[in-house]
Chain A
Amino acid sequence: MPLGIGIVLLGLWQWWVTAMEIPKYIVPSPVLVAETLVSDWGLLSTSLFITLKVTFFAFAASVVVGTLIAFLFVQSRLLELSLFPYAILLQVTPIVAIAPLIIIWVKHQDIALTLCATIVAIFPVISNTTLGLRSVDRGLLNLFQMYGATRLQTLLRLRIPSALPYFFGGLRISSGLSLIGAVVAEFVAGTGGAGAGLAYQILVSGFQLNIPRLFAALFLITATGVVLFLVMVLLSRLALGNWHESELSEAT
């Protein structure tokens, strides 16, 4: 169904551009974008790789660090209450405002970009995982207590599985945010003249009025976002498919 709608929209787009004879430097036709994608593939694929690298490292960092912080928060209410406001502070400050600072302070550009993207993507992981680790069924907790389970046993056998649905919810949001963070950080760096990722290509193509290439780069970013989301959905289904309400079909 979505595919069908997409094809119809593409068709309309193609028709509109051709019929209205819109110049390619304002709105290129889908056919032209596709051609540019092929012809400029060398350049675009390298940029894609660079953006992907930042996205993946930022996502990995968000998941690892975010989960660790969530565990810490669950161990100590005091720690959570002390640090949570700062996490929120970091979350609500727009990255476009912080990014220039970070790029100046951190010499190595890749690390700077990854740091920016991590800041954007980490919060959902922290808040969702903390919520998940705390949302354990009371009855099961009593059961574990009754059978003399150690804290480690309770963590591994009860808290973590209980937290998984929330964790994956956080991952879904965070994966998209990693990409957004990477792109925004690249934009900020790009206006300073440095960079090589897809966002940089968009900037440069804009300056050069190479609109077809701009569209092509944009398309690649969007496609990456979609693929990331689908990967998260797949992971979610693998981990939760057997048992969680969110993954079960209506019929069961």
Chain B
Amino acid sequence: MTHEAIIEVMGASKSYPDGTQALAPVDLTVRAREFVTLLGPSGCGKSTLLKLVAGLLAPSAGSVRLRAQSLEAAGAARGAGLAFVFQEATLMPWRRVRANVRLPLDLAAVPRGEADSGVDEALALVGLSGFEKHFPRQLSGGMQMRASIARALVGKPHLLLMDEPFGALDEITRGRLDADLLQLWRSRALTILFVTHSIYEAVFLSTRVVVMGARPGRIVGEFTIDEPYPRGEQFRVSPKFLACCQKLSQALAEASGQGGEARPSVAAAS
């Protein structure tokens, strides 16, 4: 397992002109082939941190480096080998699945033939082969999210940033997509930085969970999930899983206690 630092966040923070501090200065290092999850309640700055890493937002202070290069030097996303998956599938409704998935390649002026075979590959990875000619509205929520992930994968990224991608889906679809995502992560040798507010999802998926607290957004703890892959459904009901969930719950509760918010109920944590 390589230990190259893919993402280095050094004292990065984000404040807005009206005085809101979305993120207090944080340090974070993500190494190659890790699956790191940012876990926290709303307003803890986890999406902000993800966007800072993606270059969608500029830090008010501190810096973000990708593979030891500053973000400016890394250039556009595809050049940086980076892909972002949003909470909504964010597909263009006026184009079919094929054209949607092909978008990153089209924007980079990749020849059509090469691009199309890339699309076929990506669709096969997410299990959407045969749906190229559909329009987004003809797909279910889960399938639209798969298409969105296919689009993220088509540029053959080495780093995947995912902002609560399964948040809008039902429990069953989410479970399926979680399993498929783990499969993808391992087979494609990806590094993944994942944002969620679901403790269960964080424990099931990650090698490491970074717990964040709100007001101000900050990192309050890091926990390694010490369970080998592949992780099946039996992991979800194992004692180790419960223990991890409890530790994370506690960390979250402590964080919100310090912040003066109402404590999130442990039982409701999902």
Contact = CB atoms under 8 A, between A and B. Distances in A.
Interface stretch (A145-153, A196-204, A219-227): A145-153
Given A146-B84, A147-B108, A139 B90 contact: yes
Interface in A136-193: 137, 139-140, 142-149, 153, 157-158, 161, 164
B147 to A, nearest CB: 13
A134 interface: no
B75 A143 contact: no
Given A142-B86, A243-B94, 11 more contacts: A139-B88, A142-B56, A146-B56, A146-B76, A146-B84, A147-B107, A148-B78, A149-B107, A157-B106, A157-B107, A244-B93
Contacts of A146: 54-56, 76-77, 84
Contacts of B56: 142, 145-146
Given A142-B86, A158-B92, A244-B93, A148 B135 contact: no
Closest 8 CB pairs of A and B: A148-B76, A139-B90, A243-B93, A161-B94, A146-B77, A243-B94, A147-B107, A149-B107
A248 interface: yes
Nearest to B87: A139
Determine the main DSSP class of B at the interface with A. Answer: loop
Interface string A226-250: 0000000000000010111000100
A13 B84 CA distance: 67
Contacts of B106: 157
A87 to B, nearest CB: 29
Nearest to B77: A146
Contacts of A145: 56
Given A242-B135, A248-B137, A144 B107 contact: yes
B92 to A, nearest CB: 7
B217 interface: no
A252 interface: yes
Contacts of B103: 143, 147, 157
B213 interface: no
Interface of B: 54-56, 75-79, 84, 86, 88, 90, 92-95, 103-104, 106-108, 135-138
Contacts of A244: 93-94
- Residue with the highest number of chain A CB atoms closer than 10 Å, among B90, B106, B107, B138: B107
- Residue with the highest number of chain A CB atoms closer than 10 Å, among B84, B86, B93, B106: B93
7 contacts: A137-B90, A142-B56, A146-B56, A146-B84, A161-B94, A164-B94, A243-B94
A245 to B, nearest CB: 9
Contacts of B79: 148
Given A139-B86, A140-B92, A142-B86, A147 B104 contact: yes
Contacts of B88: 139
A248 to B, nearest CB: 7
B107 A148 contact: yes
Nearest to B105: A147
B54 to A, nearest CB: 6
B96 to A, nearest CB: 9
A79 to B, nearest CB: 25
Contacts of B75: 148
B94 A242 contact: yes
A156 to B, nearest CB: 11
Contacts of B90: 137, 139-140, 142-143
Nearest to B78: A147
A148 B77 contact: yes
Given A148-B75, A158-B92, A143 B86 contact: yes
B145 to A, nearest CB: 13
A161 to B, nearest CB: 5
Nearest to B104: A147
Contacts of B107: 144, 147-149, 153, 157
Contacts of B92: 140, 157-158, 161
